[in-house]
Amino acid sequence: MSQTNIDPINKDDLPTVFGMMTKPINQLEKIKKYPCILAPFMMVSIILSLSNIISTLANASEAPFNRVLLNLYYAPALIVFGLLVSTLIFSFFLLLFAKFENKIVEFQQLLSLVLFANIFDAIGVLTVAILVSFVQEPNLFIYLINWGFSVVTYLLIVLGLKKIAEFGPFLSFIAPALFYSLFYLIEFMF
């Protein structure tokens, strides 16, 4: 009987949410080796649910009480479901591009990349929710903050596609841009 040596995974080798904020290039290398899905999914879900709660409570005086309770009760489940579906579709879309270009990348790696990058987008949504709850008249500056976080998310996905899927510079920019364009077009239609 032969024995196989399985190297234990060192905790320092796993990608972290905090590491994505401080050393994103290093974390992208870790995502390529050890894709992690549950931690960033939970983090994004919690941040988005918290931003929904803040927004709902900030506008509670304008809405009927039963609408506020309904929003507080059902919205987090819808946010988690929407996050799951959108990240799965986006990751599958990126996988199609990778297979078309004959790149060797796993679906888990792309899903992990999208989830870790979406942490920045979720922080932007939370920041806007907090600012709007304090400032009753939202202004352009508040929405530019959210846009800035979205740009960081996009750039992290571009860098991740270069690092993890080994896309060229053109494809790294075009694949996410095409998906976002299609997503917003479909959203605009409905």
User: In the predicted model, is pLDDT for residue 125 greater than 80?
Assistant: yes
pTM above 0.75, yes or no: yes
Q: Where are the domains of the chain?
A: 23-189
Other CB atoms within 10 A of residue 121 CB: 20
Percent of the chain predicted with pLDDT > 70: 91
pLDDT tens readout for residues 142-162: 888 888 999 999 999 999 999
pLDDT at 178: 92
pLDDT tens readout for residues 28-62: 999 999 999 999 999 999 998 888 888 777 776 77
Percent of the chain predicted with pLDDT > 90: 47
Confidence of residue 2 (pLDDT cuts 50, 70, 90): low
At a CB cut-off of 8 Å and minimum separation 6, what does 34 contact?
9, 13, 14, 15
Write down the mean pLDDT value for the chain: 86
Distances (CA, A) of 121 to 8, 75, 102, 124, 174: 33, 18, 30, 5, 19
pLDDT tens readout for residues 13-31: 889 888 888 898 899 999 9
